[in-house]
């Protein structure tokens, strides 16, 4: 084996080793690397109970209710299979509106998600791909066809 070939193999081994280690680490972290839970995950109890987490979904049409004279706002997040009612007091981002994908940070209290931060999620279709995917799956499941 020539020295050059040995160095080539060393470089390949470094890349393979680091790649494998990273793949295993990412696999181990799995969902912990995801930024938010969708309403179905919340409904099935996958979201941490008693701790704060993020929930992401679409703001249901007609669900936004503001309390006059304050910054308090109530709305319902949906992935078209399950819903999460949200209550929030504070300023909302520019992109917040009904039908828009948003991500709220907070905790569940008696079935209501009390948010301390609301972020708008923007994407090329103005629907979070995760929500769109979840919607599609749920709709397909509801009509009895598998996608």
Partner 1 sequence: MGTWTWFHKLASPPHFYRIAGKMIPWYAIPAALLIATGLYGGLVLAPPDYQQGDAYRIIYLHVPSAWLGLLCYTTMATAAAVGLIWRIKLAHALAAATAPIGASFTLLALATGSLWGRPMWGTWWTWDARLTSELILLFLYFGYMALRSAFDDLTRADRASAVLALVGVVNVPIVHYSVTWWNSLHQGSTVIRSGGPAMPPSMLVPLLLSALGFTFLYAALACVRVRGEVLIRERNASWLQELASGR
Among 52, 93, 107, 137, binds partner 1 (CB under 8 A): 93
- Whose Cβ is closer to partner 1: residue 35's or residue 62's? 35
Which of residues 70, 124, 143, 144 is near partner 1 by CB under 8 A? 124
Q: What are the DSSP E strand ranges found in 7-147?
A: 53-59, 65-66, 72-78, 83-89, 101-109, 112-120
Helix, strand, coil % (nearest 5) of the chain? 35, 30, 35
Strands 83-89 and 112-120: parallel
What is the spatial distance between Cα 144 and Cα 147, in angstroms, rounded to a whole number? 10
Q: Does 51 sit near partner 1 (CB under 8 A)?
A: no
Binding positions for partner 1, 59-88, rule CB under 8 A: none
Among residues 1, 99, 81, which one has the least CA distance to residue 44?
81
CA distance 25 to 33: 11
Least Å distance between CB 144 and partner 1? 26
- How many residues at the interface with partner 1, by CB under 8 A? 38
Of 24, 34, 71, 139, the one binding partner 1 by CB under 8 A: 34
Q: Which residues bind partner 1 (CB under 8 A)?
A: 4, 7-8, 10-11, 14-15, 18-19, 22, 26, 33-38, 56, 91-96, 103, 117-126, 128-130
């Amino acid at each position: 084996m020539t020295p050059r070939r040995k160095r080539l193999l060393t470089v390949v081994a470094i890349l393979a080793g680091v790649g494998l280690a990273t793949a295993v680490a990412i696999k181990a972290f799995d969902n912990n690397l995801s930024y938010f839970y969708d309403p179905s995950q919340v409904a099935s109890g996958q979201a941490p109970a008693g701790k704060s987490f993020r929930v992401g979904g679409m703001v249901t049409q007609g669900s936004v209710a503001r309390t006059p004279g304050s910054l308090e706002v109530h709305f319902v997040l949906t992935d078209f299979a399950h819903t999460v009612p949200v209550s929030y007091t504070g300023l909302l981002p520019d992109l917040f509106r009904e039908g828009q994908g948003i991500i709220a940070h907070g905790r569940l209290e008696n079935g209501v998600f009390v948010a301390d931060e609301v972020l708008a999620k923007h994407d090329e279709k103005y629907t979070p791909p995760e929500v769109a995917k979840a919607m599609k799956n749920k709709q397909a499941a509801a009509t009895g066809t598998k996608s």
